[in-house]
Amino acid sequence: MPVILDITISLDGFVTAPNAGPDNGLGDDGLALHAWAIGNRTPEDLRLLAAGTAATGAVVMGRNTFDVVDGPNGWSDERHYGADQGDAAAPPPCFVVTHTAPEHVRLTDRMTIVTTGLRDAIDQARAAAGERPVVIMGGGSVGGQALRKGLADRVQLHVAPLILGAGTPLFDGPRVQLRLDEAATVVTRNAAHLCYDVVR
């Protein structure tokens, strides 16, 4: 099954606003990036969110994202992967790419810490996902690595109609050049939902 990089991004290429951190996950005034998922959502936004959540077999995330979702104000039984889908779907297993294991993991039932690199995290996620896709959900560093290393089969960008000017970039680090084929495009007032298959 495919590995999907699924991430929300501003028009100028940032996945968070400035000053993002464990207690300020999307940065200063960055919540508007995710209006399609947790704001004043349209029926089409909700349909895409529900379909993506239901299809996910396992999730890969970076340490910064983990520090937010596993923190005291992070995911809970009511709000987890898929925003506030609640009981609509059980949270998928998550694999956290980090150089150093955290001292404490709150969500021990759904988080696996991987200190041996992104490729190993994806391999473990594939084994857990069965016949469903693996989704790389964040953050910018892990997403950028997946693109540079050719580990993503599909790219799903939720492009928010915002220009942030600064923050956490997705397209950072060494140059990457990919050919993408459009698979689907849906535009709502909150985001342009762009789905591309990576051409090998």
What does the block give as tokens for 184? 């689907």
Average pLDDT score, the chain: 91
Prediction pTM value = 0.92
- Residue 130's pLDDT is 93
183, 196 in Cβ contact below 8 A? yes
Q: Give tens-digit pLDDT for 118-149.
A: 999 999 999 999 999 999 998 888 999 999 99
Mean pLDDT of 80-89: 60
| Measured distance CA(74)–CA(71) in Å, rounded | 5
- Residue 125's pLDDT is 98
165: preceding bond cis by omega (within 30 degrees): no
Examine residue 199 and state whether it is found in any structural domain, yes or no.
no
- Residue 87's pLDDT is 47
Query: Which residue has better confidence, 172 or 42?
Result: 42
* Nearest C-alpha neighbor of 139 from the set 71, 35, 193, 64: 64
Supply the CATH number for residue 40's domain: 3.40.430.10
Examine residue 170 and state whether it is found in any structural domain, yes or no.
yes
Examine residue 197 and state whether it is found in any structural domain, yes or no.
no
Examine residue 195 and state whether it is found in any structural domain, yes or no.
no
H/E stretch holding 122: helix 118-129
Examine residue 181 and state whether it is found in any structural domain, yes or no.
yes
Mean pLDDT of 1-26: 93
What does the block give as tokens for 104? 């404490």
| Measured distance CA(46)–CA(157) in Å, rounded | 16
Confidence band of 84 (pLDDT split at 50, 70, 90):
low
Examine residue 56 and state whether it is found in any structural domain, yes or no.
yes
What does the block give as tokens for 77? 């039984």
- Residue 109's pLDDT is 87
136, 60 in Cβ contact below 8 A? yes
- Residue 83's pLDDT is 58
Examine residue 200 and state whether it is found in any structural domain, yes or no.
no
Examine residue 72 and state whether it is found in any structural domain, yes or no.
yes
Q: Using the Cα atoms of residue 83, residue 87, residue 90 and residue 96 in order, give the sign of their dihedral.
A: positive
Query: Which residue has better confidence, 151 or 140?
Result: 151
Quick one: what percent of the chain has pLDDT higher than 90? 72
- What is the domain extent for residue 56? 3-12+21-190
Residue 195 has a CB neighbour count (10 Å cut-off) of 20
Please determine, for residue 75, whether its predicted confidence score (pLDDT) is greater than 90.
no
If one counts the domains in the chain, the total is: 1
Please determine, for residue 163, whether its predicted confidence score (pLDDT) is greater than 90.
yes
Q: Using the Cα atoms of residue 114, residue 155, residue 50 and residue 46 in order, give the sign of their dihedral.
A: positive
Q: How many whole angstroms from its chain centre is CA 3?
A: 12
66 Cβ contact partners less than 8 Å away, ≥ 6 residues apart: 94, 96, 98, 102, 111
